Structure 1
Amino acid sequence: MIEFMQKIKQFNLFSAHEQLAFNVLPTGHVVLSYFGKKIGSHSLAYVTKDLKKASYLADTDEIIDFRLEQHPLLFPTFGNPDLRTPAFQCTFKNGSQISDFRYHSYQITHKKKIPGLPTALNQDAETLELELVDKVAHVSAIIMISVFPQYDIFTQSIKIVNHSEQSLKIDRIMSINVDFLSDKYDLLTLSGAWGRENHLERRALAPGFQGVDSKRGASSHGQNPFIALADKDADEQHGNVYSLSLIYSGDFLASAEVAMHQDTRLQIGINPFGFSWQLEAGADFNTPEAILVHSDQGLNKMTHLLHNFYSNCLVNKKFAQQKRPIVLNNWEATYLDFDKQKLIALAQEGKKLGMEMFVLDNGWFGKEKTNSTVKADLDGSVGDWQANTKKIGGSLHDLVAAINKIGLKFGLWFEPEAVSPDSDTYMEHPGWIIRTPDRKPQLIKDRYLLNLGIPEVQDFLIGVFDRFLKDTNVAYIKWDLNRNLTDSGSSALTAVQQTELGHRYVLGLYKILETVTEKYPDVMIESCAGGGGRFDAGMLPYSPQIWTSDDSDAIERLEIQRGTSMIYPCSSMSCHVSTSPNEQVGRRTNLNVRQTVAEQGILGYELDLLALNTKGKHFISHAISKYKKYRQTYQFGSLDRLPVYDPQDEYAWSKQDENHLIVSYVMVLAKPNTVPKRLRLVNLQADAIYEDVQNKQRFTGQELMSIGLVWLCHAQMKTSTHGIGSSIFCPLNSLTAGQIKNRSRTLIS
């Protein structure tokens, strides 16, 4: 619900349990008066009136003791007595960069899609559109703040409208600015690199500017478009957490600035580094949508809110609650060394073990050359996307039919955004790549990047997918990107538009994806960017699951998946059981451990099934059978991270829905001569009874939360809706000292 208290000029946005409140000051500045648990409809103007006078820049607008830089502003701009980092900065034709936006009007509407950008939508969502106007420049800023009542989520995007008769250049525009009147927080980000994405980083706020960003043309392996402030004592179950996320797949900036008055300015939006946008007279510009979340019960509740919101308001509704198939990907089984017979044999073995989708990865395409190696066949072929009939033993249509006959659906790998210099596509259209005309472009992995901002390139790639999805029974696309944006330049843009390239690239990507998903609604796309290089909310409407990391080592995946699943649904994390020793780090890991870690997300397999012994095949067959039986809970159950004795060495999590509870535990390094500690569960019904289906032993939810489970056990439990259930524990095989130990428990109705 959104209300406007006319007399005191206060806007209240209410969700089921949360509230945002803004007040319009007599000067026309709009300030954030409150963000947190719902407190009701009464005047909050005292929040800013009570601010103590402490500033060097006094008397804003010639009003005695009115100090703008002390106020929690909704839309701070450059050139005013608020000298903190602005949310907006532009350059006018006369060279001036000063803008001054004051409140003009408002309207309340149903939530609408942002043109050209992925947008969170729900039939109950309302939007408050606040129009702020710079009367001198004749420019409007429309602040669109939406409330999703049942999800306790707020979002914001901004539209700049140029009503003047001259163009202007947008130099900086954040999607949201949130000012906090304190600096007593920890800063949370998700950081890393290729092969170790999304590690949670937590550090105390310090005076000055801090945060994360990407300058790589994608949201990147190094940082994720997410930032949060948490109470100093906040943990998984307790304390306040305030987070911002961005529904965007390109360069971003997420920052926290602690100013001289011990307040904190939190922002997220398009990275101003290397970006500007020419806004012609009469034109408008929309920012990506930002997500604003408050949890008063620690990080687990933040996770619940974001997972529920993404799954129901952002992910394509066709797949949002659809059970995901168990995939067999041939990459680590064969790499480029395969033929039709090997692929068929793998698929047959996968079918025997219970797998459902065979995905043919890199190596299926390429120019056929006499007496050439497999690698030579691929050289110069990225961008042409023609099946190598010699390599796959006939047409792609025949291979798909053969896999389908076995009883598996078929998926296919593409790298559509790249092109090889020897490809026919590049030879015919050299102006389609990203480059500056006077410099030799960098060749990375034998690839250039196509300029997705060019309409002809968009049409070409849509045509590529038309050709394959119309003519073959392909049910699954793995969409990969294996290089970042370099040589920034476009032959299709004017000199003053060159800094628009990165954003135009992302808009072009979205246009292609939206077109393909609308034309082929039953085809699932799994996004990949060398692993998690573009694991962001902007991709979720088009690719309901994303390859979490190229590092499939189970132990490294623990930290990667812990951070990723903190904000993204488990149903979006593609997680594979791969070979041991692991190809990325060389670690040997028990198959049981690899299975348990992969079950945290969407289970798949990426190892040579033909090389497995009978014991290994039996284990996988049994594990898949169990996963299928409880797939709904594994993929869509509510995730909680559980407190452990040694957080540096142990990982534990649970998933639950109205029918089942699955509890998983991994110890990285075993300890000799120690007594197992107990693993306390969280967020159970205290008076419910949980039953282990194996031996019918029963425990109350309160017991499991207060006493907990003995580590290194596996149990299957059942809970009933009327509070009668039970729990049982039985140990799994113990590993030798120095190896990894892992145990799982399942509560099942």
Structure 2
Amino acid sequence: MTKKILSILFFLIVVTHTAVKSQTIYVSTNETELVLQTAQNKRLYQLYLGPRLSNQDDYTTIKSRSDGQAWEAYPVSGTETYFEPAFGIRHNDGNMTTVLQYVSHNVKKVTDDVTETVISLKDALYPVQVKLYYRTFAKENIIQSWTEISHNEKRAVNISSYASSMLYWKRARYFLTEFSGDWAKEVNMSSAPLNFGKKVIDSKLGSRANLHVSPFFTVGLGETPRENEGQVLMGTLAWTGNFRFTFEVDNENNLRVISGINPYASDYTLEPGKVFATPAFIFTLSNQGTGKGSRDLQRWARNYQLKDGKGDRLTLLNNWESTGFNFNEPKLDSLIAEAKYLGVDMFLLDDGWFGNKYPRQSDTQGLGDWQPTSSKLPNGVPALVKSATRTGVKFGIWIEPEMVNPKSELFEKHPDWVIMLPNREPYYFRNQLVLDLSNPAVQEHVFNVVDHLMTENPQLAYLKWDCNSPVTNIYSPYLKEKQNNLYVDYVRGLYNVLDRIKAKYPNLPMMLCSGGGGRTDYEGLRYFTEFWCSDNTDPVERLFIQWGYSQFFPSKAMAAHVTSWNHDASIKFRVDVAMQCKLGFDINVKELRPEEQAFCQSAITTYNRVKNINFNGDQYRLVSPYDGNHTAVMYVSESQQQALLYTYDIYPRFAENLLPVQCQGLNPARKYSVREINLMPGAKPDEAFNGKVYSGDYLMKVGLDAFTTNKMHSRILELEAVE
């Protein structure tokens, strides 16, 4: 045998060995491990996802699922995949099949706590590449997953599915908690079993995408999700647009969870050499129920995702309930003085300050014309900012720059900037249309709305960014033959604008508002310090709404205002509910009785003293409003030195049996003094909470008799460790 033949044989042996050598990839937090593995066919499969094993060698004993109906990490359409795929494509030759094979992977440390793993896959027959990204946050027990899709075919291809993540589970039973609702009744929690077949949670609304359903969920793995027990998957998508979660239970009772942009009307046209990046799917796996999962998500958000997540928040007085659209400069000056009298940090001017040809007297006109109405504000916004500065408070303002009224100068000048069908009668949601943010000229206009305000008013301290309409009349004059890209490119255009604003004004606080909770996602919160939970500010309803949002968001991200909704509720009850979150007021201060005004002033002082316990501490949901007539929530500082216990009696039954509230998160070995705070003027605290000292062990095992049989009654108890 010649040396040449031997060399060829040796080369073939090496190549064959390399081709079949299995690669095992570990994606790990301190508590959770996702293990991926290649098979002989060079495709990538999920081997394990669950609590991290102490000995990594133990993973080798897990039976691979890379045969038969496999758990492929990123399954594609058109092959032997019988169930919902993560990826679908139409190639230049019309073929709709792609087989993705492992090429390489890279692991790098971003920080001591953060690790990023990138896995490269490609098709052997077509020049199509997919990169799977996994970013882990070790201490917070959070994993982010997203993909990058690209190709080098001669012409553009269409991708019909492009999930951010595909995860698999094998349990006896599965239970889904979803968060649905509508305007003024957001995040209603409901749980139901997942049985054979598919359950889909999705949005097709475009801009106000979360109007009917929120982009987050909880899956109980084995049993219904509970607060402090059981294994749960909690997931959310970082995308301010159409989303889709698919939960599919197959013939063997395996569960597939597919998360990403909703491909509805969005079979995206991808040009050669361009990269399509999907949004991040963010998830945590908790073995101690939803409470532990929420605390991990909240801590991660403060540390890594929420704009100014470790910073302070501004208390404020909003004018909307006092004035609506009916105001002028003297009236606003008096409200600015009321903000100072109340003791808040800022006065916020809401809708109605703009438009001259079509003055903003209602929601039927003027939207898009961002010049101050001269009849209302003859000296413009600068005079109001100066008035606030002289008075000793900051000044913020409302904008809705993505939207336009047909009755506006902007629409008359640029009808081609609007998402609107060219050949049909338009449908108006709230008398307005949506500007086409896929168009760079529109992006420039929207950026300039903010830039002009900030350039003219460098002391402007806050923006409330609203978005009241979903995308209707779906047609982009700019995209022309690529209408299928509109839903995606609209959101990307929004991010282009927000990136520019954040780069130029990095310290500008902004509220993400969308007719209430129509936008509540973690990509939006990269640019906004907080979001408006709901236009419904009835304190009873807010107890449910805040309970729902707290599953995924920290309290400092949730704006809560004291208003005149529900006159049957005392001012104390309304304030105590809002004090759990980022406190504001939208109320006519002069209509309050003197003792109510004094209480609000005192409450703001108290709030400023204790708010960091809420903002930066761990939250424990103790008693659910869904379970009866009472609810209780607790925040504990990281040092376990301080805690706040909020208890609410909603509509108790006559002479009902009241149970003690058992605290959580305290140090059982320490002693804690307990006192009631935020009392009405002249009110005396209950003797049981007036400086009494209890062990942490007692407070968590026995608890405090904090509930009463009084309707819409509340207490805030401050706990402080003593030597």
Q: TM-score if structure 1 supplies the norm length?
A: 0.88
Asked whether 1:699 is paired with 2:694, we answer yes
d(CA) in 1 for partners of 2:182 and 2:396?
28
Residue 442 of structure 1: how far off its partner (Å)? 2.2
d(CA) in 2 for partners of 1:17 and 1:674?
42
Asked whether 1:140 is paired with 2:129, we answer yes
Over residues 346-389 of structure 1, what are the superposed CA-to-partner deviations in whole Å (9 max), with x where a residue is unaligned? 222221221111000011112168xx9x727x753211101113
Matched residue, 2:52? 38
Asked whether 1:244 is paired with 2:235, we answer yes
Matched residue, 2:429? 444
SS of alignment partner, residue 509 of structure 1 = helix
Matched residue, 2:274? 283
Report if the CA contact (8 A) 2:230-2:289 is conserved: yes
Report if the CA contact (8 A) 1:10-1:21 is conserved: yes
Listed as ranges, the matches of 1:327-342 within 5 Å are: 327-342=316-331
Asked whether 1:163 is paired with 2:152, we answer yes
Matched residue, 2:6? none
2:62 aligned residue (37, 47, 63):
47
Over residues 551-607 of structure 1, what are the superposed CA-to-partner deviations in whole Å (9 max), with x where a residue is unaligned? 1111111111111111011111000010143xxxxx622212211111121000011
SS of alignment partner, residue 702 of structure 1 = helix
Matched residue, 1:254? 245
Report if the CA contact (8 A) 1:346-1:610 is conserved: no
Report if the CA contact (8 A) 2:672-2:719 is conserved: yes
Matched residue, 2:176? 187
Asked whether 1:686 is paired with 2:671, we answer no
Percent identity over the alignment is 27
Asked whether 1:485 is paired with 2:462, we answer no
d(CA) in 1 for partners of 2:629 and 2:377?
45
d(CA) in 2 for partners of 1:675 and 1:88?
55
Letter in 1 for 2:327: F
Report if the CA contact (8 A) 1:389-1:396 is conserved: no
Over residues 261-297 of structure 1, what are the superposed CA-to-partner deviations in whole Å (9 max), with x where a residue is unaligned? 1110001100011111112222221111111211111
Report if the CA contact (8 A) 1:72-1:181 is conserved: no
Letter in 1 for 2:62: V
Matched residue, 2:630? 650
Distance change in 2, residues 1:575/1:645 (3 Å): closer
d(CA) in 2 for partners of 1:305 and 1:36?
16
d(CA) in 1 for partners of 2:577 and 2:284?
28
d(CA) in 2 for partners of 1:489 and 1:644?
44
SS of alignment partner, residue 291 of structure 1 = strand
Matched residue, 1:677? 659
Letter in 2 for 1:567: F
Asked whether 1:634 is paired with 2:614, we answer yes
Over residues 84-139 of structure 1, what are the superposed CA-to-partner deviations in whole Å (9 max), with x where a residue is unaligned? 1001111122322111112121122355xxxxxxxxxx674222111111111221
d(CA) in 1 for partners of 2:618 and 2:338?
33
Asked whether 1:313 is paired with 2:309, we answer no
d(CA) in 2 for partners of 1:354 and 1:708?
35
Letter in 2 for 1:47: I
Letter in 1 for 2:651: L
Which portions of structure 1, spanning 4 or more consecutive aligned residues, are displaced by more than 6 angstroms?
none
Over residues 5-44 of structure 1, what are the superposed CA-to-partner deviations in whole Å (9 max), with x where a residue is unaligned? x975211122222222111112222221222222132153
Asked whether 1:128 is paired with 2:114, we answer no
d(CA) in 2 for partners of 1:397 and 1:233?
55
Asked whether 1:9 is paired with 2:8, we answer no
SS of alignment partner, residue 143 of structure 1 = strand
Over residues 201-239 of structure 1, what are the superposed CA-to-partner deviations in whole Å (9 max), with x where a residue is unaligned? 211112111131100003312111112211315411111
d(CA) in 1 for partners of 2:90 and 2:112?
38
d(CA) in 2 for partners of 1:405 and 1:561?
36
Q: Number of matched residues? A: 683
Residue 646 of structure 1: how far off its partner (Å)? 7.6
Matched residue, 2:210? 220
Report if the CA contact (8 A) 1:639-1:655 is conserved: yes
SS of alignment partner, residue 95 of structure 2 = coil
**Structure 2 gap ranges (5+):** 1-19, 677-689
Listed as ranges, the matches of 1:688-727 within 5 Å are: 688-692=670-674, 695-712=690-707
Asked whether 1:19 is paired with 2:10, we answer no
Matched residue, 1:591? 571
Letter in 1 for 2:717: R
Report if the CA contact (8 A) 2:90-2:157 is conserved: yes
Report if the CA contact (8 A) 1:212-1:254 is conserved: yes
Letter in 2 for 1:676: L
d(CA) in 2 for partners of 1:645 and 1:269?
31
Residue 533 of structure 1: how far off its partner (Å)? 0.2
Distance change in 2, residues 1:401/1:290 (3 Å): same
SS of alignment partner, residue 300 of structure 1 = helix
Matched residue, 1:204? 193
Letter in 1 for 2:601: S
Over residues 670-691 of structure 1, what are the superposed CA-to-partner deviations in whole Å (9 max), with x where a residue is unaligned? 2222343201112221111111
Letter in 1 for 2:714: N
Listed as ranges, the matches of 1:100-139 within 5 Å are: 100-110=99-109, 124-139=113-128
Matched residue, 2:713? 741
SS of alignment partner, residue 126 of structure 1 = strand
d(CA) in 2 for partners of 1:146 and 1:426?
43
d(CA) in 1 for partners of 2:312 and 2:625?
34
d(CA) in 2 for partners of 1:83 and 1:235?
33
Matched residue, 2:7? none
Q: TM-score if structure 2 supplies the norm length?
A: 0.91
2:493 aligned residue (504, 508, 525):
508
2:551 aligned residue (556, 566, 574):
566
d(CA) in 2 for partners of 1:7 and 1:661?
54
Kindly report the root-mean-square deviation, in angstroms, between the aligned alpha carbons of the 2 structures: 2.0
d(CA) in 2 for partners of 1:322 and 1:108?
31
d(CA) in 1 for partners of 2:653 and 2:250?
47
Matched residue, 1:604? 584
Matched residue, 2:15? none
Residue 429 of structure 1: how far off its partner (Å)? 1.3
Report if the CA contact (8 A) 1:183-1:258 is conserved: no
Matched residue, 1:375? 361
